[in-house]
């Protein structure tokens, strides 16, 4: 694994990326310039930074070997100001305070570390008192250290589910094949009365017989007779 600095925001965890990007957009809309300069860290990178001011010359850069960076839920940024000729980094606490006061990260699900002004991370990673190891939070969320999960911005929206094909309506009275006659008695004998007006003997009502026999002839003697 490498000790090189990683600035790729695509290497951040989606939950953190989805909070960080709207905050960065709001910072820019507020008239400030804030540039992310470090995102994901390998264990080797974290150990390298931890050694600064301890086992190798330089200032103390970090206070832990269990950083939120190793899970892709933290990023470091710098405030840029115009000096009349170019945009340059302003590392002063006052510069960071102006940005954080104008656009509070907490409104976007982020939190700050009071002792490390460039650092912004996903809220809750170090517990309510900021003393919980990041590894405990990661274990609870099924994450392993130094493994890039990755993210995209804007988030990829899955395509809508296809509309189910229309189910053809089933006729309530499907037509029956004309395989037989519907016969009623007359003075001259039985006659196929389909489509004719008939009289119901009980009520005297007239009806039109539209039924068809499915299996052979059907005899309606004594039930109806021709009008």
pLDDT score at 194: 74
pLDDT score at 24: 98
* Residue 75 falls inside a structural domain: yes
* Residue 168 falls inside a structural domain: no
> For 162-200, how does the pLDDT look when each residue is reduced to its tens digit (9 = 90+)?
887 776 766 555 444 455 777 777 767 777 777 777 666
pLDDT score at 177: 47
Handedness of CA 29, 34, 37, 83 (dihedral sign): positive
The CATH number of the domain holding residue 26 is: 3.30.1380.10
* Residue 145 falls inside a structural domain: no
Q: d(Cα 162, Cα 160) in Å, to the nearest integer?
A: 6
In this prediction, residues 43-49 reach a mean pLDDT of: 97
Last residue of a domain, one of 123, 140, 157: 140
Q: Is the pLDDT of residue 222 over 70?
A: no
**Contact assessment for residue 71 and residue 64, using Cβ atoms and an 8 Å cutoff:** no
* Residue 115 falls inside a structural domain: yes
Domain coverage including residue 105? 9-140
Q: d(Cα 47, Cα 194) in Å, to the nearest integer?
A: 95
- 136 with 186, same domain: the answer is no
Residues shown for the chain = 227
- 24 with 80, same domain: the answer is yes
Q: Is the pLDDT of residue 28 over 60?
A: yes
pLDDT score at 133: 93
- 45 with 98, same domain: the answer is yes
**Contact assessment for residue 39 and residue 45, using Cβ atoms and an 8 Å cutoff:** no
* Residue 54 falls inside a structural domain: yes
Which residues are paired to 192 by β-bridges? 183
Q: What percent of the chain has pLDDT over 90?
A: 64
Q: Where is average pLDDT lowest: 20-34, 69-83, 174-188, 211-225?
A: 211-225
In this prediction, residues 9-29 reach a mean pLDDT of: 98
Residue-averaged pLDDT of the chain: 86
- 134 with 211, same domain: the answer is no
Q: Give the three-state DSSP class for 136.
A: helix
Tell if the pTM clears 0.75, that is, is over it.
no
* Residue 120 falls inside a structural domain: yes
- 109 with 202, same domain: the answer is no
pLDDT score at 165: 75
pLDDT score at 196: 74
> For 79-130, how does the pLDDT look when each residue is reduced to its tens digit (9 = 90+)?
999 999 999 999 999 999 999 999 999 999 999 998 899 999 999 999 989 9
**Could you tell me which of 78, 75, 113, 127 has the C-alpha nearest to residue 99?**
78
pLDDT score at 100: 98
Domain count, the chain: 2
pLDDT score at 70: 97
pLDDT score at 200: 64
């Amino acid at each position: 694994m490498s000790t090189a600095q990683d600035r790729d925001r695509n290497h951040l965890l989606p939950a953190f990326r989805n909070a960080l990007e709207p905050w960065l957009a709001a910072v820019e809309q507020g008239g400030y310039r804030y540039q992310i300069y470090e995102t994901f860290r390998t264990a080797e990178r974290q150990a390298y930074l931890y050694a600064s001011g301890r086992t190798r010359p330089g200032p103390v850069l970090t206070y832990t070997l269990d950083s939120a960076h190793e899970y892709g839920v933290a990023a470091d940024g710098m405030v840029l100001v115009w000096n009349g000729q170019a945009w340059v980094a302003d590392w002063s606490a006052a510069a960071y305070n102006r940005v954080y006061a104008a656009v509070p990260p907490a409104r976007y699900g982020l939190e700050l570390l009071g002792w490390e002004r460039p650092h912004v991370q996903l809220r809750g990673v170090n517990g309510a008192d900021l003393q919980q190891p990041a590894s405990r939070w990661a274990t609870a969320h099924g994450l392993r250290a130094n493994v890039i999960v990755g993210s995209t911005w804007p988030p990829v929206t899955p395509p809508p589910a296809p509309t189910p094909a229309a189910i053809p309506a089933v006729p309530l009275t499907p037509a029956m094949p004309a395989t037989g006659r519907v016969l009623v008695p007359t003075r001259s004998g039985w006659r196929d009365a389909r489509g004719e007006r008939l009289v119901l003997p009980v009520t005297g009502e007239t009806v039109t017989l539209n039924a068809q026999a499915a299996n052979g002839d059907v005899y309606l003697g004594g039930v109806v007779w021709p009008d």
